[in-house]
């Protein structure tokens, strides 16, 4: 038994680009973030901070573009199909698959052996992808709250509320730090599942836009 | 105004070894600290020289007397001492000569007369019904409530008076809290000015007092009731070591180059400096007769100027700043205690990575990597086919 076919209709070229941008930003943000947290070699602090802020702006622009594109780019919503529909349907959990959620959990915990019928993205997968939006916004909010500690900016009260919510400047620093681990865990699981579920056709398509 | 008063005042200063020139220089620096141009120095001099004695009470609660010690470091003889003499401080437990009933009578007399201000040093000890700290045979909080409710203003000096400070650190057995929070809980509406740091910087106390004597009102305050002019910019932004931070030049604790790095005045960020998140004017005003301050003398900032007076708890700088030599505070896990967030992150990441490896091995053994057949029908549908017609 082989894996389902992966067609260009499932991942249009524009989303190959947005996915690349996400990946490169995440790697850059995590590396410079770790450096800003604890500078493990000398001479890079100014560069690390500049890169960190720049990449976050790029990531936010990319996220905004990706969300807007989801409303009008058409791509395949079903596994192994070339029939296209609005991309947004890939994001939102479907009513017809709500009973497949627990079955998917059981499958990944080896309590069942046949794959679960689902759309292009499984029930768990949809929730995980949808969650990336609030996670990125959360990282942006906590990050900017750390970036604007002087009260001279007019926008400060918007962030001061968050600083107070997390119990002060140290609290929001730790919240931002743990948020990065959530992103890292997501990326680990995401890459792992994409690797065991047909590494060659899937990665070839999403990174090189190559059908196999 | 009041030329003759001014003359007497300068005689008084001269008797203390302070020249008129010294005094005017001091007034200029006070102007700078309270955010005025130096052209206001003569007005400040007049306000101080002609000021009627402002009655004041300096209350001692859960304290180490460090703030009083700090006040003593404004120089001997130095002008601020004279300025403080212009206040009629009727009670200051640590330094006054009076004792016992005679001393306590001073409080009663001042409160009865009214028109006084209160300076509180030390945390409010509410534990055991206030009996953790008893003053003059009564719970200390009783004295605080009575004195503060009738005062024109309260100045909380030092972190302990602001939000409980060290005394309120986890697990806070004395149930210590700050003055502003305690007064708010008891419906006392007297305005409170908070001056955190441990100990308080005497220059700031003087600036608030002069501001009060000069304009008859408290200075503009931020959301934490701290004077805006003193608590709006981070230590990091005004730090003399800031250039080394930007260049990525850090003092590395325990490295072979540590001595050379310290000698070069490198940034103390890696040693857990809390300067980037602490808002005070320490780098500008400095301490001990403006000689030096923590970071300049080689110690990372421990964040003692951080306060969220009405919130307390995890906002307290002692809980949020320890361990002082670490970049982040410990996260307190139930049953385990304080753990560094980086340790938690590494453990969670490691466990997740190990879990994925195990999952991968099991998946491979079950042939999933090559591909697994899909179910022919949803389980829910096959179960409910006869009764409900299946899933949509």
Closest CB from B246, B308, B327 relative to A164: B308
Using an 8 Å CB-CB cutoff, list chain B residues near A149: 234, 276-277, 279
Tokens of B226: 């701290």
Identify which has the larger pLDDT, A44 or B98: A44
Report the C-alpha gap between B38 and B21 in whole angstroms.
14
Which residues on adjacent β-strands are paired with residue A86? A74
User: Would you say the CATH fold of B236-339 matches that of B52-215?
Assistant: no
Q: Which of A34, A42, A119, A165 to mutate to test the interface with B (most CBs of B within 10 A)?
A: A42
Backbone angles phi, psi at B62, to 5 degrees: -75, 85
Tokens of A96: 């017809």
From the centroid of its chain, how far is CA B105?
32
Q: Which residue has the tokens 């300068």?
A: B10
Mean pLDDT across A61-85: 90
In a domain, A68, yes or no: yes
Backbone angles phi, psi at A85, to 5 degrees: -155, 175
Residue A26 has pLDDT above 80, yes or no: yes
Q: What is the pLDDT of residue B320?
A: 86
DSSP character string of B220-241: PB-TTS-BTTTSSSBTGGG-TT
Q: What is the pLDDT of residue B4?
A: 46
Q: What is the pLDDT of residue B5?
A: 47
Report the C-alpha gap between B288 and A19 in whole angstroms.
57
In a domain, A42, yes or no: yes
Q: What is the pLDDT of residue B385?
A: 66
B236-339 has which fold? Cytochrome-c3 Hydrogenase; Chain A, domain 2 (4.10.480)
Q: Which of A4-13, A164-173, B96-105 has the lowest mean pLDDT?
A: A4-13
Q: At what angle do helices A45-72 and A13-37 cross, to 10 degrees?
A: 150
In a domain, A142, yes or no: yes
Are B80 and B202 in contact by the 8 Å Cβ rule? The answer is yes
Q: What is the pLDDT of residue A1?
A: 44
Angstroms from B50 CA to nearest CA on chain A:
36
Q: What is the pLDDT of residue B216?
A: 79
In a domain, A7, yes or no: no
Q: Which of A114-123, A149-158, B372-381 has the lowest mean pLDDT?
A: A149-158
> Over the range A97-112, which residues count as b (16 or more CB within 10 Å of their CB) and which as e?
bebbbebbeebbeeeb
In a domain, A2, yes or no: no
Report the C-alpha gap between A188 and A183 in whole angstroms.
9
Query: Is A150 in Cβ contact with B391 (below 8 Å)?
Result: no
Angstroms from A18 CA to nearest CA on chain B:
26
Q: Where are the alpha helices (DSSP H) in chain B?
A: 3-15, 20-33, 41-50, 66-72, 79-86, 100-113, 140-149, 159-163, 179-185, 202-215, 242-247, 258-263, 282-285, 317-321, 341-365, 379-388
Q: What is the pLDDT along chain B (392 residues), one digit of tens a residue?
A: 334 445 677 787 788 788 888 888 888 777 777 667 777 778 777 777 765 678 899 999 999 999 998 988 875 546 656 556 667 888 988 888 888 898 999 999 999 999 999 999 999 999 999 999 999 999 999 999 999 999 999 999 999 999 999 999 888 999 999 999 999 999 999 999 999 999 999 889 988 988 887 777 899 999 899 999 999 889 999 999 999 999 999 999 888 999 999 999 999 999 999 999 999 999 999 988 889 999 999 999 999 999 989 876 556 889 888 899 999 998 888 888 889 999 999 999 999 999 999 999 999 998 888 888 888 778 777 777 655 555 55
Sorted by where each begins, the domain ranges of chain B are 52-215, 236-339
Angstroms from B249 CA to nearest CA on chain A:
6
Q: What is the pLDDT of residue B152?
A: 95
Closest CB from B314, B321, B352 relative to A188: B352
Report the 10 Å Cβ neighbour count for B7.
Answer: 11
CB neighbour list of residue A199: distance below 8 Å, 6 or more residues apart? none
Asked if B332 is an interface residue toward chain A (Cβ–Cβ < 8 A), one would say no
Using an 8 Å CB-CB cutoff, list chain B residues near A96: 391-392
Q: Is A95 exposed, middle or buried (0-12, 13-18, 19+ CB in 10 A)?
A: exposed
Identify which has the larger pLDDT, B175 or A205: B175
Q: Please tell us whether the domain made up of B52-215 is placed in CATH 1.10.760.10.
A: no
Which run of H or E residues covers position B219? none
Are A160 and B223 in contact by the 8 Å Cβ rule? The answer is yes
Helix (H, G, I), strand (E, B) or coil at B134: strand
Domain that holds residue A41: 13-208
Q: What is the pLDDT of residue B389?
A: 53
Q: Which of A167, A179, A180, A199 to mutate to test the interface with B (most CBs of B within 10 A)?
A: A167
Query: Is B311 in Cβ contact with A170 (below 8 Å)?
Result: no
Query: Is A192 in Cβ contact with B359 (below 8 Å)?
Result: yes
Tokens of A57: 């702006």
Q: What is the pLDDT of residue B86?
A: 65
Chain B stretch 292-321, residues whose beta carbon is closer than 8 A to a beta carbon of chain A: 303, 306, 308, 311, 313-315, 320-321
Angstroms from A14 CA to nearest CA on chain B:
28
Using an 8 Å CB-CB cutoff, list chain B residues near A146: 277
Asked whether this complex has an ipTM greater than 0.90, the answer is no
Report the C-alpha gap between B123 and B130 in whole angstroms.
12
Q: What is the pLDDT of residue B50?
A: 65
**Which CATH number does the domain housing residue A114 bear?**
1.20.950.20
Report CA-CA distances (Å) from B111 to B11, B35, B115, B150: 32, 32, 8, 7
Are B302 and B280 in contact by the 8 Å Cβ rule? The answer is no
Q: Which residue has the tokens 């700031």?
A: B204
Query: Is A170 in Cβ contact with B356 (below 8 Å)?
Result: no
Closest CB from A115, A160, A192 relative to B360: A192
Mean pLDDT across A25-54: 95
Give the number of domains in chain A. Answer: 1
Q: What is the pLDDT of residue B39?
A: 78
Asked if B344 is an interface residue toward chain A (Cβ–Cβ < 8 A), one would say yes
The candidate with the shortest Cα–Cα distance to B314, out of A52, A173, A109, is: A173
In a domain, A195, yes or no: yes
Report CA-CA distances (Å) from B54 to B31, B40, B96, B118, B151: 20, 21, 17, 11, 12
Report the C-alpha gap between A127 and A124 in whole angstroms.
5
In a domain, A6, yes or no: no
In a domain, A67, yes or no: yes
């Amino acid at each position: 038994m082989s894996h389902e076919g992966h067609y260009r209709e499932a991942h249009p070229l524009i989303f190959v680009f947005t996915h690349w941008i996400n990946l490169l930003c995440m790697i850059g943000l995590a590396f410079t973030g770790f450096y800003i947290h604890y500078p493990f070699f000398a001479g890079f602090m100014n560069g690390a901070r500049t890169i960190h802020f720049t990449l976050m702006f790029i990531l936010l622009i990319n996220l905004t573009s990706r969300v807007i594109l989801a409303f009008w780019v058409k791509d395949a919503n079903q596994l192994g199909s070339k029939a296209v529909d609005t991309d947004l349907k890939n994001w939102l959990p479907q009513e017809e698959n709500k009973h497949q959620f627990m079955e998917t959990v059981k499958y990944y915990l080896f309590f069942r052996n046949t794959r679960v019928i689902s759309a292009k993205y499984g029930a768990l997968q949809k929730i995980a992808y949808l969650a990336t939006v609030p996670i990125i916004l959360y990282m942006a909010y906590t990050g900017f709250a750390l970036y604007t500690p002087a009260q001279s900016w007019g926008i400060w009260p918007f962030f001061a509320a968050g600083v107070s919510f997390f119990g002060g400047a140290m609290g929001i620093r730790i919240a931002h730090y743990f948020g990065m681990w959530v992103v890292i865990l997501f990326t680990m699981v995401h890459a792992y599942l994409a690797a065991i579920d047909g590494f060659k056709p899937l990665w070839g398509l999403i990174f090189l836009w190559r059908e196999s | 105004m009041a030329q003759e008063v001014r003359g007497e005042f300068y005689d008084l200063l001269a008797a203390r070894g302070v020249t008129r020139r010294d005094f005017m220089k001091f007034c200029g620096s006070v102007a700078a600290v309270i955010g005025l141009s130096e052209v206001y120095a003569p007005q400040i001099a007049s306000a101080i020289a002609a000021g009627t004695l402002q009655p004041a009470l300096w209350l001692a609660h859960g304290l180490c007397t460090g703030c009083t010690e700090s006040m003593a470091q404004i120089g001997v003889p130095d002008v601020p001492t004279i300025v403080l003499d212009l206040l009629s401080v009727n009670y200051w437990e640590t330094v006054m000569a009076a004792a016992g009933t005679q001393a306590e009578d001073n409080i009663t007399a001042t409160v009865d007369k009214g028109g006084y201000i209160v300076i509180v040093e030390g945390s409010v000890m509410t534990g055991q019904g206030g009996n953790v700290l008893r003053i003059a045979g009564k719970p200390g909080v009783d004295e605080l409530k009575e004195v503060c409710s009738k005062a024109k203003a309260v100045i909380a000096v030092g972190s302990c008076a602001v939000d409980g400070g060290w005394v309120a650190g986890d697990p806070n057995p004395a149930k210590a809290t700050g003055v502003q929070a305690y007064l708010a809980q008891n419906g006392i509406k007297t305005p409170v000015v908070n001056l955190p740091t441990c100990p308080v910087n005497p220059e700031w106390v003087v600036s608030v007092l002069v501001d009060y004597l000069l304009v008859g009102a408290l200075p503009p305050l931020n959301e934490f009731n701290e004077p805006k002019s003193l608590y709006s910019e981070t230590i990091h932004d005004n730090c003399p070591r800031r250039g080394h931070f930007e260049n990525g030049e850090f003092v590395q604790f325990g490295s072979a180059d540590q001595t050379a790095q310290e000698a070069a005045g490198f940034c103390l960020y890696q040693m857990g400096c809390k300067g980037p998140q602490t808002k005070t004017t320490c780098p500008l005003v400095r301490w001990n007769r403006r000689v030096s301050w923590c970071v300049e003398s080689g110690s990372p900032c421990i964040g003692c100027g951080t306060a969220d007076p009405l919130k307390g708890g995890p906002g307290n700088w002692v809980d949020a700043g320890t361990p002082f030599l670490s970049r982040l505070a410990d996260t307190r896990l139930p049953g385990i205690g304080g753990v560094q967030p980086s340790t938690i992150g590494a453990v969670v990441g490691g466990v997740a990575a190990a879990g994925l490896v195990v999952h991968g091995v099991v998946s491979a053994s079950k042939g999933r990597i090559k591909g697994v057949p899909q179910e022919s029908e949803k389980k829910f549908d096959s179960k409910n086919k006869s009764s409900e017609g299946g899933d949509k």
